[in-house]
Structure 1
Amino acid sequence: MKFMEDVVKKRTRTVLSERGFAGAVGGCATRFLCQPFDVLKIRFQVQIEPISKSSGSAVYRGIIQGLQHIVKGEGWTALWKGHVAAQALSATFGFVQFGLFEGITTYAFEKSPSLKSLQSGVNFSAGLGSGCMATIVSFPFDTIRTRLIVQGEPKIYKGVIDVISKMWAKEGALSLYHGLSPTLIQIGPYTGCQFAIYKFLIEMYEEAIDGKGAGLKSLTCGAVAGAVAKTLVYPLDLGKKRMQLQGFCNRHQYKGLLDCLATTVRNEGLAALLKGLSPSLLKAVFSSALQFYFYETTLEFLTRSNVRVKC
């Protein structure tokens, strides 16, 4: 009995390290390709004026116009503002999220095979827990890259270290965790839905085409899972971004997530809760598809080449 427990523990550690490494690779590759969508989404989210072609006072009025405005005023490199912090965020988040998710599900199904009948529920719960833990570990990088993305010209911050030092000195160390509560409320259901939908679609896909087309499978299922999950939790993402900017650029001071959302609706209307949804959906579709694709590809490479990643 003890031998079997040791085998399960050893296998769980292997799953955590290999799946975590694959998740980190997938996160970094996806971040590099999708960063412009993220930059535009954040700019949309923090704009007070309506995002509409008819809004003459708004800086950003649409996806194409927004991208053109950023490139014209700040150069092409502005589409990758905050990329160093974003890559640190992606690598850390991907490692913890995928490693912990696969570790939890592997351990759960091996210890209690009867849970197979509740697979979607287990995947949702594991996705929720792993997403929350990954968020707590990587959250300061999210705050840093948000401030680097929002700043225009002239720049307030020179880089990652400068953001940390100035925030620590002027606002305190806990300012790096502004917006953590709405992020946890958002990321838990999002990652839970994303993994549950992805795993469900993967099973449906494999039954339909008999396991062929592995690359297309992960891309398609990942895209659908990302789009559905993002739409469901988007207002919480908007609230998080606005709370991260408290004390910066004369932004509102919010008492909490509900106050932030209520203030947004009161001042800008109900539709404001979906500001930035279009670039966010584009990013969610592409990033979720690419993340699962790169994750599965990296995992397949590690398996075929018998490479072992040790923690």
Structure 2
Amino acid sequence: MSRREEQLKDEGSRSQVVLAGAIAGLVSRFCVAPLDVIKIRLQLQSHSLSDPLSHHGLQGPIYKGTFNTLKAILRQEGITALWKGNIPAELLYIAYGAIQFTTYRSTTQLLHQLPPSYRLPNTAEAFVSGAASGTLATTCTYPLDLLRTRFAAQGVDRVYSGLLFSVREIAANEGFRGFFQGLSAGVGQIVPYMGLFFTFYETLRLSLGHLDLPFGSRDAAAGIAASVAAKTAVFPLDTVRKRLQVQGPTRVRYVHRNIPQYAGGVTSTLRAIIQREGRRGLYRGLTVSLLKAAPTSAVTMWTYERALNVMKTLETTIEEE
């Protein structure tokens, strides 16, 4: 049996993968929620002085840097504001993690069943599996992602009073399509991101395999490095996605009351941001995004591997009794 076949055999059952992915998503989301709120606030902030007045009657940016944004949110809204949108986000991370890891495992096994002459190299296999898992998970969970963004963008004046209320309001005022605003940017971002992430992750994890690192930190280290590299490459599309997600009748009611209106799709939004704010406008919040991406991926992959190992150990113990 080849090394790759041994790895596939040792990846657990489908139900174990689903549960481990869900647990990984739940734990990682709670840990990085404050960084996510800060990132969204910075991404939605327009930096053009020609924009209309924003929050508190200010013209131009109201947040300057990660730590200043953190202090401003704590001062104006309290510590609980750092977990705004946490309910849809937790549901998002649970569902996303379960779909992502299940699809990745299934796609990898499917590709491995190809005749030897048609098999892809391990890195290409990881890229295809990662891209497929990211696309399906993003599409299936996108409404939750949109709700997470809108709740995180709320200031003291609440736009939506609760999760069910927000669903009813969007359905009534924006229709079914309202839940999928910016989906093309999301898929356009996640395909290269997840493909690159899993390619880097699998390569680094195997490269570090000879190192005896404590507490499973090999998986965490590989996850951090892979996430930082992949996130930086696709960040402009993430900014476009966030800007498009808050379009609609509630656009001027968030913390940033001067969020520009984007009438077109991804390409026209990219051009509009560059024209108004320069290329730097596409990278607002990149620093905090990298700060968030590293622990998110580290916690996700570490938790996933540990949870999967625990379930496999329990299964073996039960079978032996």
Q: Same fold (TM over 0.5)?
A: yes
Map 1:186-201 → 2, pairs under 5 A: 186-201=189-204
List runs of 5+ in structure 2 lacking aligned partners: 1-8, 49-57, 253-259
Decide whether the 8 Å contact of 2:160 with 2:166 is kept in 1.
Answer: yes
Work out whether 1:18 is the aligned partner of 2:16: yes
Partner residue, 1:102 = 105
Partner residue, 1:265 = 274
- Provide the rounded CA distance (Å) in 2 between the counterparts of 1:214 and 1:105: 27
Partner residue, 1:158 = 161
Give the 3 Å change call, closer, same or farther, for CA 205–12 of structure 1 in structure 2: closer
- Provide the rounded CA distance (Å) in 2 between the counterparts of 1:71 and 1:137: 33
Q: TM-score, normalised by structure 1?
A: 0.89
Partner residue, 1:239 = 240
- Provide the rounded CA distance (Å) in 2 between the counterparts of 1:201 and 1:215: 14
Could you tell me which amino acid in structure 2 is paired with residue 21 of structure 1? L
Q: 1:245-292 CA deviation, whole Å, 9 max, x = no partner?
A: 111323413310011110000011111110110110100111011110
Partner residue, 1:139 = 142
Decide whether the 8 Å contact of 2:107 with 2:132 is kept in 1.
Answer: no
Pick one of 5, 26, 29 that aligns with 1:28. 26
Could you tell me which amino acid in structure 2 is paired with residue 39 of structure 1? V
Give the 3 Å change call, closer, same or farther, for CA 175–135 of structure 1 in structure 2: same
Work out whether 1:286 is the aligned partner of 2:289: no
Pick one of 75, 96, 101 that aligns with 2:78. 75
- Provide the rounded CA distance (Å) in 2 between the counterparts of 1:142 and 1:13: 28
Partner residue, 1:7 = none
Partner residue, 2:178 = 175
- Provide the rounded CA distance (Å) in 1 between the counterparts of 2:303 and 2:275: 42
Q: 1:15-37 CA deviation, whole Å, 9 max, x = no partner?
A: 33221211111011000000111
Residue 305 of structure 1 aligns to a residue in which SS? Answer: helix
Partner residue, 1:215 = 216
Q: 1:107-165 CA deviation, whole Å, 9 max, x = no partner?
A: 32245456776010011001001100001110000011111110112111011111111
Residue 306 of structure 1 aligns to a residue in which SS? Answer: helix
Residue 203 of structure 1 aligns to a residue in which SS? Answer: helix
Give the 3 Å change call, closer, same or farther, for CA 115–12 of structure 1 in structure 2: farther
Identity %: 33
Decide whether the 8 Å contact of 2:12 with 2:312 is kept in 1.
Answer: no
- Provide the rounded CA distance (Å) in 1 between the counterparts of 2:120 and 2:135: 25
Partner residue, 1:302 = 311
Give the 3 Å change call, closer, same or farther, for CA 111–21 of structure 1 in structure 2: farther
Q: 1:76-99 CA deviation, whole Å, 9 max, x = no partner?
A: 010000000000100111000011
Map 1:28-107 → 2, pairs under 5 A: 28-49=26-47, 57-107=60-110
- Provide the rounded CA distance (Å) in 1 between the counterparts of 2:128 and 2:215: 26
- Provide the rounded CA distance (Å) in 1 between the counterparts of 2:246 and 2:221: 35
Partner residue, 2:127 = 124
Partner residue, 1:5 = none
Residue 35 of structure 1 aligns to a residue in which SS? Answer: helix
Could you tell me which amino acid in structure 2 is paired with residue 34 of structure 1? V
- Provide the rounded CA distance (Å) in 2 between the counterparts of 1:13 and 1:221: 18
Give the 3 Å change call, closer, same or farther, for CA 128–73 of structure 1 in structure 2: same
- Provide the rounded CA distance (Å) in 1 between the counterparts of 2:115 and 2:104: 16
Could you tell me which amino acid in structure 1 is paired with residue 100 of structure 2? Q
Could you tell me which amino acid in structure 2 is paired with residue 26 of structure 1? A
- Provide the rounded CA distance (Å) in 1 between the counterparts of 2:13 and 2:62: 47
Decide whether the 8 Å contact of 1:178 with 1:244 is kept in 2.
Answer: yes
Give the 3 Å change call, closer, same or farther, for CA 32–257 of structure 1 in structure 2: same
Give the 3 Å change call, closer, same or farther, for CA 122–214 of structure 1 in structure 2: farther
- Provide the rounded CA distance (Å) in 2 between the counterparts of 1:12 and 1:113: 21
Per the TM alignment, residue 104 of structure 1 is displaced from its structure 2 partner at its CA by 1.4
Per the TM alignment, residue 171 of structure 1 is displaced from its structure 2 partner at its CA by 1.1
List runs of 5+ in structure 1 lacking aligned partners: 1-10
- Provide the rounded CA distance (Å) in 2 between the counterparts of 1:116 and 1:287: 32
- Provide the rounded CA distance (Å) in 1 between the counterparts of 2:130 and 2:217: 23
- Provide the rounded CA distance (Å) in 1 between the counterparts of 2:19 and 2:117: 29
Give the 3 Å change call, closer, same or farther, for CA 79–112 of structure 1 in structure 2: farther
Could you tell me which amino acid in structure 1 is paired with residue 267 of structure 2? L
Residue 47 of structure 1 aligns to a residue in which SS? Answer: coil
